[in-house]
């Protein structure tokens, strides 16, 4: 069945460092990937997305890399700030017409001042 997993449950960094959060997915038919940020007590917030025909996409302070060969996704956050502390989820969507997202279990990012 479909599964999306993460390598590290918790990542601790210092303010100003760059953070890298990794995600492995198993459904080779997935054609769309999203990173969400979830702060405590809130719903997931869209960060950045990437389609399967791309390898890299950049946003403001964030970059998503997609390696389809090894089915690996990563989120890079530049100059991490305390406000970046949250749980980060990767999610994927298959090529079927329905919009079901499959979420990973999440990585908690802790940023120390």
**Where do contacts with another protein occur on this chain (CB under 8 A)?**
4, 32, 34, 36, 41-46, 49, 89, 91, 93, 97-106
C-alpha pair distances (Å), 60 with each of 28, 31, 78: 28, 23, 9
Quick one: 36 or 109, whose CB is closer to another protein? 36
User: Hey, which residues does 111 pair with through a beta bridge?
Assistant: 13
Query: Which of 5, 4, 24, 1 lies closest to 102, judged by CA?
Result: 4
Quick one: 56 or 100, whose CB is closer to another protein? 100
Tokens of 70: 């090894």
Quick one: 66 or 104, whose CB is closer to another protein? 104
As measured in angstroms, the least distance from the Cβ of 12 to another protein is 17
As measured in angstroms, the least distance from the Cβ of 17 to another protein is 25
As measured in angstroms, the least distance from the Cβ of 35 to another protein is 12
As measured in angstroms, the least distance from the Cβ of 16 to another protein is 28
Quick one: 24 or 101, whose CB is closer to another protein? 101
Query: Any idea which residue has 């749980």 for tokens?
Result: 87
C-alpha pair distances (Å), 89 with each of 69, 102, 104: 21, 10, 6
């Amino acid at each position: 069945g479909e599964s999306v997993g993460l390598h590290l449950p918790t990542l601790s960094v210092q303010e100003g460092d760059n953070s890298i959060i990794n995600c492995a997915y198993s459904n080779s038919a997935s054609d769309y990937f999203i990173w969400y940020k979830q702060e405590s007590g809130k719903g997931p917030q869209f960060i950045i997305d990437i389609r399967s025909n791309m390898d890299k996409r950049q946003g403001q302070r964030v970059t998503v890399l997609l390696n389809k060969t090894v089915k690996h996704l990563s989120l890079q956050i530049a100059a991490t700030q305390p406000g970046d502390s949250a749980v980060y989820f990767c999610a994927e969507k298959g090529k079927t017409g329905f919009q079901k997202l499959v979420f990973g279990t999440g990585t908690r990012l802790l940023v120390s001042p």
